Structure 1
């Protein structure tokens, strides 16, 4: 359970899954993986056509030393697109800016046409940005479809049991916006 405490101390409350749901994902969902070392912790789903990074946490004292980039490189070696959720940059929270810079340095782009808005148990909404890396060009509709699969098989895995509701109904939380034409 120490790994869960590490996550819980770092990630915002609205982004944290219940311990029971994560335990079930790790033990009962073959495509869901947890890798933990002294320096990092990553939980991700490996689908047939993409990887979804659910949580990536690098220990504070080794940040900016290449550990996170090494984890990303291991995932890139699978040769599949990688998707992850990133909090929008908040000028008041330095870590949000650092995260976005980290993912950009590692070749990730924001899926700027995929709108992703979730709801807390209290009914408050919060937005997350979808960032992606792909070994070859990929369209935003494909990104949204992959994200819908991650919602169904990861965020919603036994969510009725753990929360009494779906955590991320793809039909409600995802929307593909039309491209902006100049």
Structure 2
């Protein structure tokens, strides 16, 4: 991936997520060297970025960290297309984080993922800070194709904390 492509992805990420839900430019770019990290893009015939997905591939599961669609093309089905293709190629469970369903927008996002077959797990979860100065963010985990047991959830959470967020639970 060249710098121009990365810059377009980061610009869309910055426009789509608050600072508490994304890394700095340098922090995000560093992830490109991680063998578990993968960026998937959708472009039009003019090579204009329409959407991207940032995912982590682990031996036990896959984790969708970010998915964003250009505001001009939102509602056109591109996000569902990317997620459906990712689900179809996966032989492993898929996890993602969502906000608590206490706003209309959060409920709409959860419904979007439920239509794709994801299920909301009942366990408590917080996203570790992605930037200095940010705090832990209470979120929920959704999983495909089924809800995890408490033991599975704890194992997946430990892998996320160790590999994605580079923290241990004891740092909270």
Q: Mind listing any 5+ residue stretches in structure 2 that lack a counterpart?
A: 1-6, 43-48
The structural deviation recorded for 1:7 is: 0.5
TM-score (norm 1): 0.75
Counterparts of 1:48 and 1:96, CA distance in 2: 30
Deviations 1:64-85 (A, max 9, x none): 3322222112221212111111
Q: Which residue of 1 aligns with 2:121?
A: 111
Q: Which residue of 2 aligns with 1:44?
A: 55
Q: Which residue of 1 aligns with 2:4?
A: none
1:86 is the counterpart of 2:85: no
1:71 is the counterpart of 2:78: no
- Note if contact 2:38-2:54 (Cα within 8 Å) is conserved in structure 1: yes
The structural deviation recorded for 1:30 is: 0.8
Moved more, 104-113 or 119-128: 119-128
Q: Which residue of 2 aligns with 1:180?
A: none
Deviations 1:88-137 (A, max 9, x none): 2343xx43232111111111111112332545744644311111112x66
- Note if contact 1:111-1:140 (Cα within 8 Å) is conserved in structure 2: no
Q: Mind listing any 5+ residue stretches in structure 1 that lack a counterpart?
A: 157-167, 174-182
- Note if contact 1:83-1:147 (Cα within 8 Å) is conserved in structure 2: no
Counterparts of 1:30 and 1:55, CA distance in 2: 17
The count of corresponding residues between Structure 1 and Structure 2 is 158
1:6 is the counterpart of 2:12: yes
Counterparts of 2:135 and 2:71, CA distance in 1: 30
CA 1:63–1:123: 2 relative to 1, 3 Å: closer
> SS in structure 2 opposite 1:128?
strand
